[in-house]
Structure 1
Amino acid sequence: MDTCLQEKLLSVLEYVLGRLARYDEGNPIGALLSMAPKPNSIFNKMKNLVGDQGINLTGSSSNSAGSPSSSNAKTAANQQQNSGHMGHSYVNFMRGSSETLRQFVTDEVWVNNLFEQWFSGQMNMINEWLTERLQQSLSPYQLTCLSFLVKKVHSDFELQGIDEELLNSKAYESINRRLKLEETNCALNENNASTNSSSSFTGANSFSLGNLGNAQAAVSNVSSVMEGAGAKVFALFK
């Protein structure tokens, strides 16, 4: 039963990592998924269109804004906004499974042993998944999901009483170093993109200002020529 339960729990993480693999560099499916709007972005657009208080069909917006149903609706909306990636969904599964095991299994020693093996299996699986991608960078969506997932798994299993030596294993340290490196690369890419956009905008402005100065000089030359020609014509009739 112990082995079967571990395989079932780890199969969920294997499924999540398989879904994240679709966002690998060079994968055409990942490119299409990256361009598609995420659920949280769609929610933000609808929130901007409708407003924080929503549409009131009864006409009493002031009363409904302070009602418990309105506050519950806002809480549900915030939860929907935060559950926009697979890392959040996996953490919810992990927490629900942990609570179920604690409630229905009375042998604490067996449960603690299961949690230790479950944590080690998760870290080893994520580390192997990242090792297969040493020659390529993670996409922003992959980085967001894995950073959230690893952080919450580590903190939740620490609260479950897992030994510190097992929590800070070599696999976890390797994952942590890789994610920090990916975060640094992502930040550098964003800075380079913003710098290039600002430099191109500055170049366009300088080019337009240069053209404007040339146009003004041409206009002044034409006006001086016209003035000279007018003076000559006036001298002929004098």
Structure 2
Amino acid sequence: MINSITAIRMQLFSLCNRHEVEVSPDGKQNDTAENQSPNELSMSQPTSVRMYTETEAFLEGVHRQMSVILTDHLLSVLSTVLNRLARYDEGTILSSILTLAKSDNEDGKNYIHYIEANLQILCHNLIDDVYLLSIFERWYVGQLRQVDDWLAHRQESVLTAYQIKYLSAIVRVGLVNLLIAFAEGFSGF
């Protein structure tokens, strides 16, 4: 869907910039500058410019909404992961049991694998590099905000070693993927 919108935008732009030949209502092709009077030309041009502007604004809005939906989905997964991580807060009965039961970073690895797989799918399927970079940037900023909010709620408590290891893995994978996206995105320029 996102690639379709990008393709439509490119086709619309090429159609609106094409001034050589225009099809009249009866099906004949006429040169716009030679066969139309200045009044007819000035009346048709504002309509096409207005239609182009309205269509471009609509497609830009759809792009923006799709970007928000994608980043919101990725951030909702992070929210769930942070809620699971909150179970390890120091001082709760559940934290001591969970710390003993799960010594490896299984949750962190699962989240990192999920994010890397989904971001890789986006990288391979989206053709608009600028749009892809904006999605990555919005996701990374949102991720840092969520982690910051989560840590702000725990200012008075001590984080466990598991939580620190987990949070560092989350932030690291986000930064690495953002840097890779920027490197791949700007290599074509």
* TM-score bracket for the superposition, by shorter chain length: 0.5 to 0.7
Show the 5 A alignment for 1:41-190.
84-161=105-182
Residues 140-194 of structure 1: CA deviation (Å, up to 9, x unaligned): 11111112221222122112118xxxxxxxxxxxxxxxxxxxxxxxxxxxxxxxx
CA RMSD in angstroms comes to 1.6
Cα distance in 1, alignment partners of residues 101 and 90 from structure 2: 16
Q: Which residue of 2 aligns with 1:16?
A: 81
Q: Which moved more, 1:150-159 or 1:139-148?
A: 150-159
**TM, length-normalised to structure 2:** 0.58
2:97 is the alignment partner of 1:32: yes
- TM-fit CA distance, 1:123: 0.4
Identity %: 32
Q: Secondary structure at the match of 1:160?
A: helix
CA contact (8 A) 1:119 1:157 kept: yes
Cα distance in 2, alignment partners of residues 143 and 37 from structure 1: 15
Cα distance in 1, alignment partners of residues 154 and 142 from structure 2: 19
Cα distance in 1, alignment partners of residues 127 and 102 from structure 2: 45
Report the residue type matching 1:137 in the other structure: V
Q: Secondary structure at the match of 1:134?
A: coil
Q: How many aligned residue pairs are there?
A: 118
Residues 85-132 of structure 1: CA deviation (Å, up to 9, x unaligned): 322221111111111011112111111111110010000000110111
CA contact (8 A) 1:85 1:145 kept: no
- TM-fit CA distance, 1:37: 4.4
User: Where does structure 1 differ by over 3 angstroms across 4 or more consecutive aligned residues?
Assistant: none
Q: Which residue of 2 aligns with 1:209?
A: none
Q: Which residue of 2 aligns with 1:5?
A: 70
Report the residue type matching 1:91 in the other structure: I
**Structure 2 spans left out of the alignment, 5+ residues:** 1-65, 184-189
**TM, length-normalised to structure 1:** 0.47
CA contact (8 A) 1:16 1:90 kept: yes
CA contact (8 A) 1:23 1:31 kept: yes
Cα distance in 1, alignment partners of residues 74 and 107 from structure 2: 16
- In structure 2, the CA distance between the partners of 1:107 and 1:37, relative to structure 1 (3 Å rule), is closer
Q: Secondary structure at the match of 1:135?
A: coil
CA contact (8 A) 1:23 1:29 kept: yes
